[in-house]
């Protein structure tokens, strides 16, 4: 016959509650650190795709996996990234996170002419932008291990056309889901480029 437990049931229940709470908190932190994390949109540089104060989820596995496999993200991906050295040198907080769209991969030749972006000599159809660019950009070739990123609100975006290519290692993750405002709740529906690339 086993002797009765000397620990009161309420005390055992309380210990179990706190142990479970700590485990779930650690799992949530691990999930946020490794897999997905919430972000909010602080500026209008991605209008009309993302509005000011939208809340989004950013998945963090694919950028790591593509780097490890010596592959690249896709053109059209919306990425969250740490500021490149050029912006940090200009006074940006190195712990900040920016959000833009990938428009060029290593080896791509890009230019802005007559208000449109051209890649490898072809005009790109970009259903996510609402107005022509009011600037020109001399032809550039995206270096190895770099991306060319631009905001969808091209005329009000501090992006690669001003500070240059983004090192792929700076990418934190890709935007996949909008969870606020509630009427926009759901996956980010980012149209594929009409040129299929």
Q: Is residue 14 annotated as part of the catalytic site, yes or no?
A: no
Residues contacting residue 4 through CB under 8 Å, at least 6 positions apart: none
Beta-carbon count within 10 A of 129 CB: 21
The pair of three-digit structure tokens given for residue 71, joined into one six-digit string? 């592959």
The CA distance from 73 to 104, in Å, is 10
Determine contact, residues 175/78, Cβ cutoff 8 Å.
yes
Q: Is residue 100 annotated as part of the catalytic site, yes or no?
A: yes
In the set 60, 100, 157, 160, the catalytic residue is 100
Determine contact, residues 185/178, Cβ cutoff 8 Å.
yes
In the set 45, 60, 157, 160, the catalytic residue is 45
CA distances (Å), origin 38, targets 26, 27, 71, 92: 17, 15, 25, 21
The H or E element spanning position 122 is strand 122-123
For 125-185, the three-class secondary structure string (H helix, E strand, C coil) is CCCCCCCCCCCCEEEEECCCCEEEEECCCHHHCCCHHHHCCEEHHHEEEEEEEEEECHHHC
- The residues annotated as belonging to the active site are 45, 100
């Amino acid at each position: 016959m086993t002797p009765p437990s000397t620990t009161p049931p309420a005390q055992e229940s309380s210990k179990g509650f706190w142990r479970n709470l700590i485990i779930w908190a650690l799992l949530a932190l691990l999930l946020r650190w490794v897999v997905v994390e919430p972000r909010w949109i602080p500026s209008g540089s991605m209008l009309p795709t993302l509005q000011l104060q939208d809340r989004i989820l950013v998945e963090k596995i694919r950028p790591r996996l593509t780097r490890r496999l010596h592959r690249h993200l896709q053109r059209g991906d919306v990425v969250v990234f740490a500021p490149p050295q050029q912006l940090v040198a200009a006074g940006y907080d190195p712990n900040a996170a920016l959000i833009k769209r990938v428009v060029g991969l290593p080896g791509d030749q890009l230019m802005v002419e007559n208000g449109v972006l051209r890649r490898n000599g072809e005009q790109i159809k970009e259903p996510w932008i609402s107005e022509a660019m009011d600037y020109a950009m001399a032809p550039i070739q995206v270096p190895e291990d770099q991306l060319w990123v631009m905001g969808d609100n091209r005329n009000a975006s501090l992006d690669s056309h001003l500070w240059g290519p983004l090192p792929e290692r700076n990418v934190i993750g890709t935007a996949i889901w909008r969870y606020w405002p509630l009427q926009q709740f759901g996956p980010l529906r980012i149209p594929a480029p009409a040129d299929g690339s």
